[in-house]
Amino acid sequence: MGPVHLRIEATSARARAGVLSTPHGDVPTPLFMPVGTAATVKGVDIGRVAETGAGMVLANTYHLHLRPGEAIVAAAGGLARFMGWRGPTLTDSGGFQVFSLARQVRVTDAGAVFRSHVDGRAIDLTPEEAVRIQEALGADIIMQLDHVIALPADRGAVADAMRRSLRWAERCRAAKRRADQALFGIVQGGLDADLRAESAARLRDLDLPGYAVGGLSVGEGPEAMRTTLAATVPHLPPDRPRYLMGVGKPADIVAAVAAGIDMFDCVLPTRCGRNALAFTFHGEIRLRNARHTRDEQPIEEDCPCAACRHGRGYLRHLFQAGEMLGPILLSIHNLTFYQRLVARLRGAIVADRFAVEHDRLLSLLEPGAAGDATTAR
C-alpha cells in the first residue's frame, strides 16, 4: 500500500464517505482543501484555517517556484513546516496557472514555455521539472503536469491537449523519485464524454494512487460540469481517491459528491469573503446590502466561526469603513461553511440518507434558490 490511500467506510447511491490516509495524518472524506496558493490562505493565518475544521490544504507549484523558490521551502523543512501547517498538503502542478496567468505561452509535447507574470522571466516547465519542484516542496500529494485549455473549444484541440496530458502523466510517473509522496493523474477531455472516457482509461492503466478530474470550472457552466462528471467518474478506479480540481460553488460540491467525488479545492470561500459575500445553508448573504445596516443577527445562528460572534450590521460596517477585519472574518466564515458542508454530506452518506439531503441542499444552495438570507433561523 502506498503513502496515500483511501478507505471507503460508507456509500449512499454513488456518494462515498471514507478516510484519506497520508504520511501527515488522516482526513475524513468528502474533504475540502482551502487554497493556500503561495503557502498562505489569503487573509487567514494558518491557526485559524485549522479552526475552520480543515484537514488538508493546497498550495501551488507555479507560484512557489516563482516566489520564494522551492529550494527555500525545502530548506525550511518542506511545505507544511514552512507554512506552519501540521496536517497533509497537496500541490497543484501549475498547469492551470500557466493557462490562466502566464504570458507568451507556447505549449509543445516537450512542455510549456512561458514568461512569468511576476517579473517576465522565461520559464520552461516540463513534466519532469514539475515533479522535481513538487518533490522539493514536499507535499503529501503531487499532481501531474497537464495541458489546460479554455472551454468551449474545438474537439480537435481538446483531444490534442488531453492526449498530451496523458503523455505528460507517463513522464511524471517516470520522473518521480520520492516514495513518501503520491502522484495523482488528471483526467482531461473537455465536455466530450468519449475523450473523458479515453483519458480515464489510459490513466487507469498507469495504476496511480489517485485521480483528479481537471479542465472544468473554466467557463463551461454547472450543468455541463455535472454531465461531464457523470460521464467520467464511472471510468475511475473505485478504490482510489477522486479529486475534482478547482470546484467550486457549494451546489457544485453537493452535485459532485453525488457523482462519487471525494476531494475538492476552490478559492471561492476567501475570494467571496474579501468581497463581502457570505455562504450559508439558507443562501448567500451580500453584506454590502443596506438592509443589513441595523441587523444584529449573526450570519448563521449555529455557525461556530469568529465572524458569527458579531452581528451582520457590524460586519457590514467593517466593509463600508474599509477595515481589513471585515474580509478576514468573512473569509473565516466561508471556510468554516465549506467544512460544515462536507461534514454534513459525509453524515448523510454514513446515515444512507444522501439522496434526501442532496435534494434539500440543492434547493437551498443553487444560485437564486434562496436569495439573500435575511430572516432569523
Catalytic residue annotation:
92, 265
The helix/strand/coil state of 235 is helix
Alpha carbons 237 and 205: distance in angstroms, whole number: 10
Alpha carbons 246 and 267: distance in angstroms, whole number: 8
φ, ψ of residue 112 in degrees (nearest 5): -115, 125
Inter-CA distances, 162 with 1, 109, 253, Å: 29, 12, 24
Alpha carbons 235 and 194: distance in angstroms, whole number: 11
Q: Are 48 and 332 in contact (CB under 8 A)?
A: yes
The helix/strand/coil state of 265 is strand
Q: Is 306 left (phi over 0), alpha (psi -120 to 50) or beta?
A: alpha
Residues in CB range of 301: below 8 A, 6 or more apart:
308, 376, 377
Helix or strand run (H / E) with residue 258: helix 250-258
What single-letter DSSP state applies at residue 109? T
Amino acid identity of 345? L
CB atoms within 10 A of CB 316: 23
Alpha carbons 267 and 38: distance in angstroms, whole number: 12
